[in-house]
Amino acid sequence: MTRPAAPTLAQVNGITLSYEDSGGAGELVVMVMGTGSPGRVWKANQVPALVRAGYRTVTFDNRGIAPSSECATGFSIDDMVADTAALIEHLDAGPAHVVGTSLGARVTQELALARPDVVRSATMLATYGRPTPMVSAFSAGERALYDQGVELPSDYVAAVTAHLNLSPHTLADDRSARDWLDIIAFSPQRVTPGVRAQLGVHEEEADRLEAYRQITRPSLVVGFADDRTLPEFLAREVADVIPGAEYAVVDKAGHFGYLEQPARVNELLLEFLAKH
């Protein structure tokens, strides 16, 4: 019988990682969240679908997100990759299907490249392989707001967050837009020193597309058609260079496509995992 998930603290890679494990004897799926968000975000839609399908599913808080070590003095994406590999080894149930979104997708593809021994398959949602002027400008702006002690009005932050991360199709419906604005306002993404350290990862980003030609693990890349934060063409670029990668676009979905269109995202994920 699958035991209920409970937060666990593990000492791995020289830090503390907080994770939740659905348990069970199924194949291991490890899920990597994006910048500033805790691992529990996956539990709204993806974890229940995976558990129902028989997978042992593990979510965790990346370094920078308490109660995992905040590492506020800074860290690199290589550190985050090593954390994920160390967690899989700690679970002693790998290699794992690894699923990531946004920065978590970048971690996933770097993990598949650096540590293919711990990766059974790699799924990247809303991913990218290189910085663009717009992506870099937004990242620099977020860092500057924190560094200069600027606190924007909460209603404005909710509106900007919704505009950048949700599909225009979602926001065109007034009731849906109000619901999302309320959700974002009631669960704000607070920039702590640890989250600021995560934002610092983006400062050193380079074009990694050529390197990804060396990824050998089965890969699924999913782009979200209305993604304003990381436009869909960036995900397509990653799929184009990974040998044999599958690619799919989810319509009427922004950067939070796994929350906006969970049924379609779960369908793509489960179909891919079943083959590998």
The 10s digit of each residue's pLDDT in 208-235 is 999 999 999 999 999 999 999 999 999 9
- 68 assigned to active site: no
From residue 96, alpha-carbon distances to 8, 142, 171, 194, 257 in Å are 19, 33, 36, 27, 23
Q: Would you say 19 and 73 are in contact if contact means Cβ atoms under 8 Å apart?
A: no
Phi, psi of 173 (to 5 degrees): -90, 115
- 97 assigned to active site: no
Provide, rounded to the nearest whole percent, the portion of the chain with pLDDT above 90: 91
Tens of pLDDT, residues 42-99: 999 999 999 999 999 999 999 999 999 999 999 999 999 999 999 999 999 989 999 9
- 255 assigned to active site: yes
Sketch the domain layout of the chain as residue ranges: 7-275
For residue 258, name the pLDDT band (cuts at 50, 70, 90): very high
Mean pLDDT of 148-177: 94
pLDDT of residue 4: 47
User: Could you tell me the pTM of the whole model?
Assistant: 0.95
| Max intra-chain CA distance, the chain | 51
Q: Would you say 102 and 127 are in contact if contact means Cβ atoms under 8 Å apart?
A: yes
Catalytic residue among 18, 22, 69, 102: 102
From residue 128, alpha-carbon distances to 74, 149, 245 in Å are 22, 29, 14
Provide, rounded to the nearest whole percent, the portion of the chain with pLDDT above 70: 97
From residue 213, alpha-carbon distances to 121, 194, 262 in Å are 16, 32, 29
pLDDT of residue 186: 81
Comparing 118 with 190, which gets the higher pLDDT? 118
The token pair at 44 is 């709204």
Give the whole-angstrom CA distance, residue 158 versus residue 195.
18
Instruction: Pick 7-275's CATH classification: 3.40.50.1820, 3.40.50.300, 3.30.930.10, 1.10.10.370.
Output: 3.40.50.1820
pLDDT of residue 6: 61
Catalytic residue among 21, 79, 226, 227: 227
For residue 2, name the pLDDT band (cuts at 50, 70, 90): very low
222-253 core/surface letters (b: 16 or more CB in 10 A; e: else): bbbbbbbbbbbebbebbbebbeebbebbbeeb
Mean pLDDT of 156-181: 95
Judge whether residue 1 has pLDDT over 70: no
